[in-house]
Amino acid sequence: MKAKKAKRNRPAKQNARSMRDRPKMPPISEEMKQWSAMLKTEVSGWPRISTKPMFGMMGLYRGKKIFGGLPVTRGFDTPNSVIFRFDPMPQDLLQRVLKDSRITPGKRWFSFEVASTSDLRDALWWLNQAYERAR
């Protein structure tokens, strides 16, 4: 009969890197699921679009470049947010971002809060701006 190997207790790593604070990814409402599906239907008709699952969201790609994300089961900052990416953010659009209270700015990723169906038009406009610059 073989003897069992004893488990080694490894010493704790010194100076282990702590994980960055991750953004909260709250579950989305049924209403946001419908709004997200409507946005996805609209965006799917654009040339060279593909989608890939991404952390409870649907990543939107133009060719190989990601430019946005739509919630499927999880939101980015809030339960009703869609995200778009600019790298770098053009100065003229940055001025618009700063004036729009529905947008939470970040370094590359920006979150747009959808509160009603009337916000979908603006969310689509921002996704289109990110799409146009993802070349």
What confidence tens digit (pLDDT) does each residue in 19-70 have? Answer: 556 657 889 999 999 999 999 999 999 999 999 998 889 999 999 999 999 9
Q: Write down the pLDDT at residue 17.
A: 45
Position 105 pLDDT exceeds 70: yes
Q: Write down the pLDDT at residue 135.
A: 84
pTM, two decimals, is 0.80
Q: Write down the pLDDT at residue 16.
A: 45
Q: Outline where the chain has alpha helix (H).
A: 30-43, 91-99, 119-133
Count other Cβ atoms within 10 Å, centred on residue 117. 11
Under CATH, what is the fold of the domain 30-133? Aspartate Aminotransferase, domain 1 (3.90.1150)
CA-closest candidate to residue 81, choices 26, 18, 44, 42: 26
**Alpha carbon of 6 to those of 9, 11, 76: distances in Å?**
9, 15, 44
Q: Write down the pLDDT at residue 127.
A: 98
